[in-house]
Chains A and B, each alone.
Chain A
Amino acid sequence: MTEKAWMLLLEGAWVTLWISGLASAMGLVIGLAIALLRTARIPVVDQILAVYVSLARATPLVTLVLFLFLAAPTLGLSLDRYAVAIVALTINTSAFNAEIWRTAFLNFPRDQQEAALASGMTPATMFANIMLPQMIITSLPGLVNEMTFLLKSSPAIAIIGLVDLTRVTNRISAVTYEPLPPILAAALIYMVIISVLLKLQSLAEKMAGRLAM
């Protein structure tokens, strides 16, 4: 592969990384917000969020990307392709993250909460100082796992013409007539990124294991 081809690959990798990364970061926060709202069990809001989570989890990412891209103008939204991709990925990942956060919230030991309340903490103080720090640690393995899923499904954004790490291999082979080297190189780059995430996940699991004792 030429230097030019490698440059193109890295550009594709960058598109994959920043779009997935941004969607993951927003998905973490939005997922937590959804989980908190759901545990508050506000009538109507709870049902709406439950439907949102089910729909977002049930829709294939490609379908969601394409749907948003086609629906946006009809809804009077002028979103560029990048915005559509980020919104679609965020909708998808925040639904999965919401379930991870919600499980952590529901499984949080009742006796630790009682100790916090008994010592004079308000529910908000307790959440910020006792619950959230531990929920982050116990949820991290699942959250990082979800990040790897999102990254691996991100080639779906090529359907609306974005050139990500997978799509770019097509471009390269169209010039070189050698499809194998670029797709192998792309696979290698995915593996490097994922292995960094997996390393993070095993660290997170160690921390979570310490809490459980």
Chain B
Amino acid sequence: MSDLPAVEIRKLSKSFSGVEVLRDIDLTVNKGEVVSVLGSSGSGKSTMLRCINWLEEPDSGSVFIAGQRIGYNSDKQRPMTNREMAATRARTGMVFQSFNLWPHLTVSQNVAISPIKVKGMPKAQARDLATQLLEKVGLGDKAEVYPFTLSGGQKQRVAIARALAMSPEVMLFDEPTSALDPERVGEVLQVMRDLSGEGYTMVVVTHEMEFARMVSDQVVFLDKGLIIEKAPPEIFFTNPASERVRRFLDRQD
């Protein structure tokens, strides 16, 4: 079980009203790996990420989370029920561009509710877990406040703690710093850097070149729905194989 890749994407395709957004995508993310996904807007990188936990249902292809196929019950040869779907999604954690915290719950409740309602964790234990995770992201003192009192960077750190609370096999980040004030970006990236140091498996759709360069094990570049480059950052940033990536990198900085 432990040798299985955290995420395996096979022949994934997706169209939105006739426009092919993903074309035959194959990608393997091993346990403990950090994969940064780069590409200009409209390249399909967010869609690919959202197909991993089936928030977006692909037209064809399959996704495996630690060996388990998502969206389709292979034993019974039929699409998953809501309950099966939820149980499989629970093995992934997602962090969104716009945080998506639940405003009617305190910060601590935002983190604790899924372990309680999905895993059936006792409330006291879930509260302790929330406290511990909020301390990990540097927000131990914010447990009892409501999300609207927080800055963007703080909200995003709560969202990371919330995703971690389900002990996922993989953390999916969908442009986690794109909605932040520039001076708030650093605190979120620092938390993500810490997670990678602790061995979390992460797939990060991002525009942060510095993060991709310093933290990832692999950099994947998408263009028009195709993965046109996959390389370790040392090679990706200094000697990319494709002309398209070279042009993309030139336009940065």
Question: Which residues of chain A are within 8 angstroms of B118 by Cβ–Cβ distance?
Answer: 119-121, 125
Q: Which residue of A lies closest to B98 (CB)?
A: A111
Whether the pair B114, A134 counts as a contact (CB closer than 8 A) is no
Task: Write out, one digit per residue, whether chain A residues 105-126 have a CB within 8 A of any chain B CB (1) or not (0).
Answer: 0000101101111111111110
List residues of A (50-87) whose CB comes within 8 Å of B's CBs: none
CA distance A137 to B96 in the complex (A): 25
Whether the pair A118, B94 counts as a contact (CB closer than 8 A) is yes
Question: Which residues of chain B are within 8 angstroms of A130 by Cβ–Cβ distance?
Answer: 102, 104
Q: Which residue of A lies closest to B87 (CB)?
A: A120
Q: Which of B104, B159, B162 is in CB contact (< 8 Å) with A137?
A: B104
Q: Bin chain B's interface residue count.
A: 20 to 34
CA distance A137 to B172 in the complex (A): 31
Q: Can you name 23 A-B pairs with beta carbons within 8 Å?
A: A111-B96, A111-B98, A111-B100, A114-B96, A115-B96, A115-B101, A115-B159, A115-B162, A116-B102, A117-B55, A118-B92, A118-B172, A120-B166, A122-B85, A122-B86, A123-B82, A129-B117, A130-B102, A134-B103, A137-B104, A210-B146, A211-B104, A213-B103
Question: Which residues of chain B are within 8 angstroms of A134 by Cβ–Cβ distance?
Answer: 102-104
Number of A-B residue pairs at CB separation under 8 A: 76
Whether the pair A120, B82 counts as a contact (CB closer than 8 A) is no
Q: Bin chain A's interface residue count.
A: 20 to 34
Given contacts A111-B96, A125-B118, contact A118 B53 (CB under 8 A): yes
CA distance A196 to B103 in the complex (A): 28
Given contacts A210-B146, A210-B148, A213-B148, contact A119 B93 (CB under 8 A): yes
Question: Which residues of chain B are within 8 angstroms of A129 by Cβ–Cβ distance?
Answer: 113, 117
Whether the pair A125, B117 counts as a contact (CB closer than 8 A) is yes
Whether the pair A133, B100 counts as a contact (CB closer than 8 A) is no
5 residue pairs, one from A and one from B, having the closest CB atoms: A120-B90, A115-B100, A213-B148, A118-B94, A119-B114
Knowing that A111-B98, A118-B172, A119-B89 touch, tell me 5 more A-B residue pairs with CB under 8 angstroms: A115-B101, A121-B86, A133-B104, A137-B104, A213-B148
B48 at the interface (CB under 8 A from A): no
Q: Which of A112, A120, A133 is in CB contact (< 8 Å) with B89?
A: A120
Nearest CB in chain A: distance from B2 CB, A: 21
B251 at the interface (CB under 8 A from A): no
Whether the pair A112, B117 counts as a contact (CB closer than 8 A) is no
Question: Which residues of chain A are within 8 angstroms of B113 by Cβ–Cβ distance?
Answer: 129
CA distance A123 to B85 in the complex (A): 10
List residues of B (69-100) whose CB comes within 8 Å of A's CBs: 82-83, 85-87, 89-94, 96, 98, 100
